Amino acid sequence: MSAGRLRVAALISGRGSNLKALLDAAADPACPFEIVHVFSNRPDAGGLAHAAAAGVPATVIDHKLFASREAFDMALDDALAAVRPDVVAFAGFMRILTNAFVERWRGKAVNIHPSLLPLFKGLHPQRQALAAGVAVSGCTVHWVTPGVDEGPVIARAEVPVLHGDTEDALAARILVEEHRLYPRALAMIASGAARFPEG
């Protein structure tokens, strides 16, 4: 591990604002993690520009070029293994992975989700929160296990749901907290304060 920092590989599919938050945090030499590589399953992901700007290598593995989910996952698995990450951080990565892949990276893969898990898993969690009428929502960083948005929680941040909120307004308020929470959660893993609960 270079300079003792936690080696993080980031997986993106789109805008990449969480990736940018991680890259910005890692730009500080005192940060206990570094982003060693970025992988995108979409060639047009906006987040690729953030990797380039930070001088972090990025690889596109276009899922559309693979005949099956298994074939894509095997290619991603090989590419990931080659960069020897301590942690694989899903940052707006919009692919459901096979159980074989998830098991292979068990205890190393983490995800951020814009709700207070276990509430509002899956798509449109902010819309789900508004429909449920909750007064508080937020975001969660959790270990990736089989089952979408399941897996042990590492850290959560709360955000108020305001009267008259739209889905976009709530999403934007949560996103501000995501950008603080994700670097904090990776620092917790780096320090050993957060560990995957084995057994």
> Which residue ranges make up the site for ligand GRF (CB under 6 A)?
14-18, 47, 91-92, 112-114, 175, 178
CB of residue 112 to ligand GRF, shortest distance in Å: 4
Q: In angstroms, what CA-CA distances link 145 with 13, 44, 101, 108, 110? A: 19, 28, 10, 10, 9
Q: Which residue, 15 or 74, is less far from ligand GRF as judged by CB?
A: 15
Shortest distance (Å) from residue 124 CB to ligand GRF: 11
Cβ neighbours for 93, distance < 8 A, ≥ 6 positions apart = 11, 12, 13, 41, 111
* Least CB distance to ligand GRF at residue 3 (A): 26
Which residues are catalytic, by number? Answer: 113
* Closer by beta carbon to ligand GRF, 85 or else 125: 125
Output the smallest distance, CB 187 to ligand GRF, in A. Answer: 18
Nearer to ligand GRF, 111 or 189 (CB): 111
C-alpha distances out from residue 78 to 6, 61, 83, Å: 20, 11, 9
Residue closer to ligand GRF by CB (options 31, 140) is 140
Position closest to ligand GRF via CB: 92
